[in-house]
Structure 1
Amino acid sequence: MLSQVGERIVSDVQSDPVRSRGRRLRRKLWSDRYMYLLALPGILFILLFDYVPMYGILMAFQDYNPFSGISHSEWVGFEHFERLFHHPDFWMVLRNTLVISLLNLVLYFPAPVVIALLLNEVRGALYKKLIQTVIYLPHFVSWVVVCSLTVTLMNSQGIVTKFLHAIGIANVQLLLDERLFWGVITLQSIWKDAGWGTIIFLAALAGINPELYEAARVDGANRWQQMKAITLPALMGTIVVLLLLRMGSIMNLSFDQLFIMGNPMVNNVAEVFDTYVFKVGVLQGNFSFAAAVGLFKSLVGLVLILGSNFLAKKTSDNYLF
């Protein structure tokens, strides 16, 4: 009798695989209902603020009129994209955006990893917590304050400029020299957010089995060898995933930072897409043009993250999807 019932169930599943998958999905959703309920606020936030506003992409293909709205504005096709690509400032803005993003990728991104590795070697709990508190604090300071401090320290009468003069480096204008601007911006980013970025890596380090280090010490490995053989491989998955996510936002830079630090003397190296959209698109009321620039940035980010994920999937076991 039981064998007949089992054969009947198997035949039903084989005859209607869609219904079987639906039942399995419902059982899965019900068994994990509390986890999904916990994730519901985050899902609603993403839907409300990330997916619903995507309706505004239509403005990029319209001559948007605020009084007519998106549904009644005139369609112009790719006119705004042609205007963007033929604008004399396009290549300058693209260069500045990519160079600053690459500097952040090469110099800023490794900084949290290095700090996390150094903190992991600190044995005094109180001393370690003190260091973490100090390096986390700049993250909670607004860019307005950070840029104001930078201007105060690096202007012609600032303490940094006076120190450079004292050691024989005279006639240097840290805030007005195009050759130094990208370096100043990168150092600002490292000082402000590198400490905060260590949180994820410290969490990954906390998940490493301590027995691995004990076995390595028994085998005679010193701390440097333990770091190379145990710590870095354990962090590699987290590093790759965060790097891939960062590739998707390589066209997005801090508007507040660059808008405040920019001035007419360094505008040729300070103008990026975020500030360009604000000046040319928003301030002049060219909302459709601003939407076209935003869509262009998103498409570039999509191509970069898909390409990077494809390469990661082909060369390693760590990838997003």
Structure 2
Amino acid sequence: MDKTMPLESSRTVGHAKLSFMKRVIRDFALNKYLYIMMIPVLVYYAVFHYVPMYGAVIAFKEYTPMKGILGSDWVGFQHFIDFFGSHYFWRILRNTVIISVYSLLFEFPAPIILAVMINEVRHQVFKRTVQTITYMPYFVSLVVICGMVTDFTNSKGVINSLLTFWGYDGNPMLQKPELFRAIYILSEIWQKIGWESIIYIAALMGIDQEQYEAARMDGASRWKQIMHITLPGIMPTIMIMFILRMGNMLNVGFEKIILLYTPVTYETADVISSFVYRKGLLEFGWSYSAAVGLFNSVINLILLISANYISRKVNESSLW
């Protein structure tokens, strides 16, 4: 009996592998066009996301284009030590964390609120009009968006002119470090609220309408329906989006930061991504900027894994 058990176990494993391969071949035969459509996506991620990971090694070297990656001198963790010891470290880390937290507190809930409000509207024409108006800023070029924000907040801009009635001094708002973060977050909400609400609207459409009918029969108000049916119904979607947001917690978009900030506002506007851009492309500190970017990626990975773990333990919704 004991001698046959390893043989039976190996046969079971072999049968499981064969069965798995059969399922894969059968699934490919049934969905071959879907697999073919997936090839460009895989090629994109391989070429632009996985292959470039090899270049991260320059964070540990004194990279020069003439010597190449392999020929450049190895310096170990010297660039990380220089970055952690510089006076820029705490400034850009503080700014990145503060802007990210503000974004999580104000920008992340905005599309959820908009989606719930649109779901409660019964007039179809008004609903479509609101959706179209809120979607439009997302499709406008970021350069144009930043130009509009700059014009609106100039000394003679619309927003600046309106605020003068409440005692504002009328100076350009983007020249004031204390106002930069608020302007950035508000412009992000304005630009992305409509587009990011689409996924929540789609999740709302998947809620069983019989739950609302039963709640109305029990005398539940619309507010109670939202609190006890609508929000719990889209909570898995909210948690997945929250985990993804945590994975990009420190990836504050450097494009808008660079287009809006000036040396006057570096104290509150300079973040990790803009610092990497300035050091790497403008000052040619390729290895130093690679070290800073690698540090940023490691922190984001830790936040992503932590948020996924906590979400799985709390409400059993997770990416893996």
Into which bin does the TM-score normalised by the smaller protein fall? over 0.9
Counterpart of 1:15 in structure 2 is 10
**In structure 2, C-alpha distance between the alignment counterparts of 1:285 and 1:189, rounded to whole Å:** 30
Counterpart of 1:3 in structure 2 is none
The 1:71/1:21 distance shift into structure 2, 3 A limit, reads farther
Counterpart of 1:5 in structure 2 is none
Counterpart of 1:41 in structure 2 is 40
**In structure 2, C-alpha distance between the alignment counterparts of 1:230 and 1:30, rounded to whole Å:** 42
Secondary structure at the counterpart of residue 16 of structure 1 = helix
Counterpart of 1:187 in structure 2 is 186
Counterpart of 2:304 in structure 1 is 305
Counterpart of 1:83 in structure 2 is 82
Q: Does 1:26 align with 2:21?
A: yes
**For 1:24-71, what per-residue CA distance to the aligned partner results, in whole angstroms no more than 9, with x for missing partners?**
221221232114444333222222211111111111111112122212
Counterpart of 1:258 in structure 2 is 257
**In structure 2, C-alpha distance between the alignment counterparts of 1:318 and 1:97, rounded to whole Å:** 27
Secondary structure at the counterpart of residue 279 of structure 1 = helix
Q: TM-score, normalised by structure 2?
A: 0.92
| Superposed displacement of residue 172, structure 1 | 5.2
| Superposed displacement of residue 296, structure 1 | 0.5
**For 1:85-128, what per-residue CA distance to the aligned partner results, in whole angstroms no more than 9, with x for missing partners?**
11111110000011001100100000000000000011122221
**For 1:130-153, what per-residue CA distance to the aligned partner results, in whole angstroms no more than 9, with x for missing partners?**
211110010011221111111111
The 1:84/1:17 distance shift into structure 2, 3 A limit, reads farther
**For 1:68-93, what per-residue CA distance to the aligned partner results, in whole angstroms no more than 9, with x for missing partners?**
22122211111111111111111100
> Which consecutive residues of structure 2, in runs of 5 or more, have no partner in the other structure?
none
**In structure 2, C-alpha distance between the alignment counterparts of 1:94 and 1:111, rounded to whole Å:** 25
Residues 167-176 or 212-221, more deviating: 167-176
**In structure 2, C-alpha distance between the alignment counterparts of 1:67 and 1:109, rounded to whole Å:** 45
Counterpart of 1:269 in structure 2 is 268
Q: Does 1:114 align with 2:113?
A: yes
**For 1:276-296, what per-residue CA distance to the aligned partner results, in whole angstroms no more than 9, with x for missing partners?**
111122212111111111110
| Superposed displacement of residue 253, structure 1 | 1.2
Q: Does 1:206 align with 2:205?
A: yes
Counterpart of 2:64 in structure 1 is 65
The 1:201/1:76 distance shift into structure 2, 3 A limit, reads same
The answer on whether the counterparts of 1:60 and 1:291 sit within 8 Å (CA) in structure 2 is: yes
Counterpart of 1:128 in structure 2 is 127
Please give the residue correspondences for 1:94-243 in structure 2 after superposition, counting only pairs within 5 Å. Answer: 94-170=93-169, 173-243=172-242
Residues 131-140 or 282-291, more deviating: 282-291
The one-letter code of the counterpart of 1:280 is K
The one-letter code of the counterpart of 1:16 is R
| Superposed displacement of residue 19, structure 1 | 2.0
The 1:70/1:230 distance shift into structure 2, 3 A limit, reads same
The 1:31/1:38 distance shift into structure 2, 3 A limit, reads farther
The one-letter code of the counterpart of 2:234 is L
The answer on whether the counterparts of 1:175 and 1:181 sit within 8 Å (CA) in structure 2 is: yes
| Superposed displacement of residue 12, structure 1 | 6.9
Residues 103-112 or 149-158, more deviating: 149-158
The answer on whether the counterparts of 1:13 and 1:20 sit within 8 Å (CA) in structure 2 is: no
**In structure 1, C-alpha distance between the alignment counterparts of 2:106 and 2:276, rounded to whole Å:** 26
The answer on whether the counterparts of 1:208 and 1:234 sit within 8 Å (CA) in structure 2 is: yes
> Which consecutive residues of structure 1, in runs of 5 or more, have no partner in the other structure?
1-9
**For 1:140-185, what per-residue CA distance to the aligned partner results, in whole angstroms no more than 9, with x for missing partners?**
1122111111111111111222222223333554222222111010
Aligned alpha-carbon RMSD (Å): 1.8
**In structure 2, C-alpha distance between the alignment counterparts of 1:161 and 1:296, rounded to whole Å:** 39
The answer on whether the counterparts of 2:279 and 2:286 sit within 8 Å (CA) in structure 1 is: no
**In structure 2, C-alpha distance between the alignment counterparts of 1:285 and 1:182, rounded to whole Å:** 28
Secondary structure at the counterpart of residue 155 of structure 2 = coil
Residues 275-284 or 236-245, more deviating: 275-284
Secondary structure at the counterpart of residue 320 of structure 1 = coil
Alignment size in residue pairs: 312
Q: TM-score, normalised by structure 1?
A: 0.92
Residues 25-34 or 15-24, more deviating: 15-24
The 1:74/1:16 distance shift into structure 2, 3 A limit, reads farther
Residues 130-139 or 64-73, more deviating: 64-73
